Structure 1
Amino acid sequence: MYNTTIASWDSNAALTQTNQTSLMTLFLIRVNFSLGELPAGLQSPDFPQSLGDIEICITNLRSFPDDIDMKWPRFGSIYIEASQLHEVPASLVRLAPFDLSLSMNPISVLPPQLFEEESVAYLSFGGTLITQLPENVTKLSSSLGDLNLSYNNLSFLWSWIDPIIDHEPNTPLSLAGTPYCRDLERIFTGEQTNFLSIPPLSQNNAEMSIFADASVGNWATLKKSVSCAEQDRTWYPIDFEDQYSSIRIVDG
C-alpha cells in the first residue's frame, strides 16, 4: 500500500494464514492509520506465518499491540521507519527480528534485549533521539553484524559493543552525522588527540571500550569497524518508491 489512508481494516477482512497462505511481504508506505494504531486487519490470531518481511515507512503509527508477538511470525524482517513510536514496544522485542529498523522514530531509549537476542543480525536506529546505547547489555549477540546508529547524538560507546569487531568482515558500525564521528574524523586528521566524550566506568563496564581508544595504534581497528560515510535515512528505499509509485500525468 502506498500513499493511503486506512480509515478501517476490520478483522473480517484480516490477513490470515487460511486465506493468504503464500504471502511473504507487506509494505505500508506513506500510510495514515486511524488513531495512529495498527488496524485489526493486521492482528489476526491466524496471521500468515509466511509473512516474514513487514516494512512500514513514513506513517503516523504511534503504538503497537502488546500481544503482536503472539500473532506475527518471529525472526523476520520488520521495518517501522519514519513513524511516531516514542518507545520500543516490548512485543516487538519479543518477536526477536532477524532484521529490525526503527530509524527516524522519536525513540530515546533502547532496551538491552534488542542487542542480546541471538536471532538478530541487522539493527538500525538512525535518526532517532538516542544519546547513548543501553549500558547494561549482558552479552552482545554473536550474530549481530550490522548496526546503524547514524544521525543521532551519540558521542561514545560502551565496552560491551567491542565484540562486534569480530562478527563481520565488513564495517559493522555506521555512525554518520554523530558527535562520535566528528571526533573520529578530527582525530584522524590530527586536529585532536582524544575523544571529547568518554563513557563513565561503572560496575558493569569496568573496561574502557576499544572505540574510546584514540591512539594511533588503534586507528586501523577504528577505520575497519566504523563508517562515517553518509547513509540513507531509511532502509526502505523510499526515494525509489516515490519515483516508481507516484502518479504520473501523461500528456494526451
Structure 2
Amino acid sequence: MPDMLTEFSRLQLLKLYNSTTTNWDHSAALSGRHHPNLVMLFLVRVNMTDGELPVGLQGNDFPKSLMDIEFCVTNLRGLPDDLDLKWPKSGTIYFEASNLTTVPLALTSISPYLLSLAVNPISDIPGTLLNRKTGYLNVGSTLISNLPETVDISPLFKMRVDHTNISFFWDWVDPMITNDGLVYNSLPTILATGTPYCLELQQILSEKRSNFSVPWSQGQSRSLLNVSPDNLETLKKAVSCEAWPLTLYPIEFEDIYSRIRIDA
C-alpha cells in the first residue's frame, strides 16, 4: 500500500477488490490523524500476506469514525488479540467467506452491533460472543452443530444459523421470539435455512412428520419444539427457512459491478 494513502484526508470509503496486499505497514496506516472522515472499509476478494491482518489496519490511532468494516472472500485466518484496544466498538463488522477456524478473541470485546462470520470453517461459538444488549449475529454456513447453552442475551437480538448443523435451540431464544418484530422488521428473528431443524420443521408444517427428532430436555426451548396446532404460527414466525444469500456483503453484485470491462 503506497504511503500516499495518508494524503487522502477527506476519504470516506476505502475499498480493495480483487487484490493482494503484500506490504501495508505503518507508513500507510489508516489513522484518525490522516483519515478523520473515513467511515467504511471494504476488502473484497483480497489476499493478505500469511492470511494476517495488515499492520496498516492495526494502528493505535485507528479512525474512531470507521464503524463499518467488511471483509468478504479473503484468506484472513485470525486477528490480533489486542485489536479491541484499537478498533471502534459497537459498529458493523463482516469477516465472511474467509479462513477463520475460531472466533477471534478481540471480537468479544469489540462487540459489534452487527457481526457476520458467515462461510468460515468455525466449529464453536463462545457464549461471550452472544452476551450483548442488542444486535445481529450471522454464523451461517459455518461448521457449528450447537449454540452456547448459557448466555446473557438481549430479547431484541436476532441471528442467522442457516446452513449449519443446528437441530434445536436453547431456551434463551424464547424472549427473542416473544419480542419478534420490535426491531429490524425485515429480518427474521432466527434464520435457519438448510439446518436439520428447518428440514424437520418444514416436514412438520407439511404434515410429513409429527414431531422433531430431538426430544426436549432441560434448558432447551419449549416454544421451538412445541408442534401443537396452536403453536405452529409461532414456529413459522420465529424461525425462517427461506433462502437468503450466504453472505451479507453483496458479493454477486460486487463481482458484476467491479469486474474488468474490456471495450470492443
- Shorter-chain TM-score: which interval? over 0.9
Kept in 1: contact 2:107–2:129 (CA 8 A):
no
**CA distance in structure 2 between the partners assigned to 1:39 and 1:58 by the alignment:** 16
**SS of the counterpart of 1:26?**
strand
**CA distance in structure 1 between the partners assigned to 2:154 and 2:209 by the alignment:** 33
1:189 maps onto 2:206 in alignment: yes
The TM-score with structure 1 as length reference comes to: 0.94
Unaligned runs of 5+ in 2: 1-15
**CA distance in structure 1 between the partners assigned to 2:42 and 2:90 by the alignment:** 17
Kept in 1: contact 2:173–2:221 (CA 8 A):
no
Q: CA deviation at 1:142?
A: 3.2
For 1:145-184, list aligned pairs within 5 A: 146-169=158-181, 170=185, 171-184=188-201
Amino acid at match of 1:195: F
**CA distance in structure 1 between the partners assigned to 2:209 and 2:222 by the alignment:** 19
Amino acid at match of 1:241: E
Which residue matches 1:62?
77
Q: CA deviation at 1:121?
A: 1.2
**CA distance in structure 2 between the partners assigned to 1:30 and 1:111 by the alignment:** 27
Which residue matches 1:198?
215
**CA distance in structure 2 between the partners assigned to 1:86 and 1:198 by the alignment:** 30
**CA distance in structure 1 between the partners assigned to 2:216 and 2:142 by the alignment:** 20
Kept in 1: contact 2:169–2:221 (CA 8 A):
no
1:22 maps onto 2:65 in alignment: no
Which residue matches 1:40?
55
Pairs aligned (count): 244
Q: CA deviation at 1:208?
A: 4.4
Amino acid at match of 1:142: P
Kept in 2: contact 1:140–1:163 (CA 8 A):
no
Which residue matches 2:7?
none
**CA distance in structure 2 between the partners assigned to 1:209 and 1:106 by the alignment:** 30
**Which of 243, 246, 255 is matched with 1:233 structurally?**
246
**SS of the counterpart of 1:75?**
coil
Kept in 1: contact 2:69–2:92 (CA 8 A):
yes
Amino acid at match of 1:53: D
**CA distance in structure 2 between the partners assigned to 1:208 and 1:56 by the alignment:** 34
1:116 maps onto 2:131 in alignment: yes
Amino acid at match of 1:198: P
Which residue matches 1:105?
120
Kept in 2: contact 1:158–1:199 (CA 8 A):
no
**SS of the counterpart of 2:94?**
strand
Q: CA deviation at 1:209?
A: 2.8
The verdict on how the C-alpha distance between 1:81 and 1:153 changes in structure 2, with shifts beyond 3 A counting, is same
CA deviation digits over 1:173-192, x for unaligned, max 9? Answer: 10001110110011011111
Which residue matches 1:217?
230
Unaligned runs of 5+ in 1: none
The TM-score with structure 2 as length reference comes to: 0.90
Q: CA deviation at 1:199?
A: 5.3
**Which of 119, 122, 140 is matched with 1:126 structurally?**
140
**SS of the counterpart of 2:224?**
helix
Q: CA deviation at 1:24?
A: 0.1
- Provide runs of 4+ in structure 1 moved above 2 Å: 198-201
Kept in 1: contact 2:101–2:121 (CA 8 A):
yes
Kept in 2: contact 1:53–1:78 (CA 8 A):
yes
**CA distance in structure 1 between the partners assigned to 2:221 and 2:240 by the alignment:** 20
CA deviation digits over 1:79-128, x for unaligned, max 9? Answer: 0000000011111111010000000000111111222211x411101100
Amino acid at match of 2:85: M
**SS of the counterpart of 1:91?**
helix
